[in-house]
A and B are shown apart, each in its own frame.
Chain A
Amino acid sequence: MSAVREKKRTSRLGRLGLLLAAAGIALGPLVALAQTQIYDAKTGKWVDYDKKKARQLYARNKQLPEAFQRQVVPFRTAEAPGTIIIDGNQHFLYLVQPGGKAIRYGIGVGREGFGWAGMVRVGRKAENPTWTPPPEMVARDPNAAKWAAGMPGGRPDNPLGPRAMYLFVGDSDTIYRIHGTIEPWTIGLDVSSGCIRLNNEDVIDLYDRVDVGAKVIVLMQGAALYKGV
Chain B
Amino acid sequence: MDARGIAFGWLTLAAAGMVTGCQSAPAPQDMARTSLGTAPADLQLMCATAAAGPSGVDSSRILPTSSSQLDATNYRVDLDAAGNRFTCVIDSSGSVKSIGPATAGAAPAAPVEAG
Contacts and interface: CB of A to CB of B under 8 A. Distances in A.
B28 A71 contact: yes
Interface stretch (A21-29, A123-131, A156-164): A21-29
A219 B41 contact: yes
Interface in A77-128: 77-79, 85, 87-92, 94, 102, 104, 110, 112-119
Contact of B114 (A18, A21, A67, A113): A113
A229 B63 contact: yes
Given A29-B2, A87-B41, A226 B67 contact: no
Contacts of B110: 32, 221-223
Contacts of B29: 67, 71, 73, 104
Nearest to B60: A119
A114 B114 contact: yes
Nearest to A16: B10
Nearest to A109: B115
Interface stretch (A35-43, A132-140, A165-173, A205-213): A35-43
A91 B63 CA distance: 18
Contacts, number: 176
A66 interface: yes
Nearest to A24: B3
Nearest to A190: B115
B19 interface: no
DSSP class of B's interface residues: helix, strand, loop or mixed?
mixed
A221 B6 contact: no
A42 to B, nearest CB: 10
A223 B82 CA distance: 16
Contact of A112 (B6, B65, B67, B115): B115
B43 to A, nearest CB: 8
A104 to B, nearest CB: 7
B42 A67 contact: no
B32 A35 contact: no
A34 B32 contact: no
Nearest to A45: B17
Nearest to A93: B41
Contact of B32 (A27, A44, A188, A220): A188
Nearest to B32: A67
B97 interface: no
Contacts of A221: 1, 36, 38, 65-67, 110, 115
A117 B80 CA distance: 11
B35 A220 contact: no
25 contacts: A14-B10, A21-B7, A24-B5, A25-B3, A29-B2, A30-B2, A30-B111, A32-B110, A34-B35, A36-B33, A37-B33, A39-B26, A41-B31, A76-B46, A85-B42, A88-B115, A89-B34, A90-B32, A90-B34, A112-B114, A116-B114, A219-B64, A222-B1, A222-B66, A229-B61
